[in-house]
Amino acid sequence: MRKIWWKILCIVIIFYVIIMGLMGPVPHLAIINESIRNTYFHVALWLAMTTLLFVSMIFSIRYLNKGRIGDDDIASELAKSAIFFGILGCLTGSIWANYTWGDPWPNDPKLNGAAVGILIYLAYLLLRSSFEDEQRKARISSVYNIFAFAVFIPIIYILPRLTDSLHPGSGGNSTFGSYDFDNDIRKVFYPAIIGYILLGLWLAELRIRIKVINRVRDEASITSDKVF
C-alpha cells in the first residue's frame, strides 16, 4: 500500500475532476459561458505538461552529471508523458476556441507557440530514435532536452504576453484569476493539476519498467549467445 498510495490518489482525483468538471458549479460569464469548464482540462493539462517537462530537464541534467542511464530513462519517459498531455491540451484548446472565438485554430501567438513547442519535443523523440548506442543517445538527447525546455518556456509563457493574443493574460487581456477564478473553480482546478501530474508519472513509470525489462532481456540474450 505504501508504494501505490499515490496511484490510488491519482485515480480518485481524476474521477473527482471529471465528475465535478462536468457537473459542478461554475461562474456564469458572457461569451465563454459553460465552456469555462474546459479550464479543468485544457489549462490544467498544459500546466501539468510544463511541470513534467521541467522534471524531465532536471533528470537530463542529472544524467550529464552522473552518467546513469536510469536518469535518461526517466527524462525521456517524462517527456513522452508531457507530449501526450500537450497534444490533449491542443485538442481541448481547439474545441474551446471553436465555441468561444468561432475558429478551432485562430491566428493566435499562443496557439502557434504551442504548436512550435510540441514540434520541438517531437523532434526530441525523433533525435532519440536516430541513435542505437544508448550512452550516445542519452548524452545528445539530454543536451537537446535542456535547450528545448529553455526555448519552450519563452515561446509558451513569455512571448505571447508581449503581443496581442486572444488568450487571457496576454496582449493586455485580463487573466482568469483577476475576474472569474472563484472558489468553485479553484476546488477542481488545483486538484486537476495534481491529478494529471500523478497520471503522467504513472505513465512514465510503466514505460520505464518496460525499458528495464527489455534491457535485461537483451543483456541475457547477449550473454546466452556468448556462452553457446
Cα distance between residue 34 and residue 195, in whole Å:
22
Chain centroid, CA 188 distance in Å: 18
Residue 170 sits at the vertex; the CA angle it makes with 168 and 172, to the nearest 5 degrees, is 100
Sequence ranges of the domains in the chain: 5-213
H helix count then E strand count, the chain? 6, 0
Nearest to 125 by CA among 108, 148, 104: 148
Nearest to 77 by CA among 172, 210, 196, 185: 210
- Give the pLDDT band of residue 147 (cuts 50, 70, 90): very high
Query: Residue 212 above 50 pLDDT?
Result: yes
What's the rounded mean pLDDT across residues 19-35?
Answer: 79
Query: Residue 96 above 80 pLDDT?
Result: yes
Give pLDDT, residue 161.
79
Cα distance between residue 100 and residue 14, in whole Å:
25
Cα distance between residue 137 and residue 150, in whole Å:
20
Nearest to 62 by CA among 77, 51, 72, 50: 72
Look at 100 and 15; give whichever has higher pLDDT: 15
Cα distance between residue 75 and residue 69, in whole Å:
10
Query: Residue 199 above 50 pLDDT?
Result: yes
Enter the pTM of the model: 0.89
- Give the pLDDT band of residue 179 (cuts 50, 70, 90): very low
Arithmetic mean of pLDDT over the chain: 86
Nearest to 145 by CA among 59, 46, 50, 51: 59
Look at 225 and 153; give whichever has higher pLDDT: 153
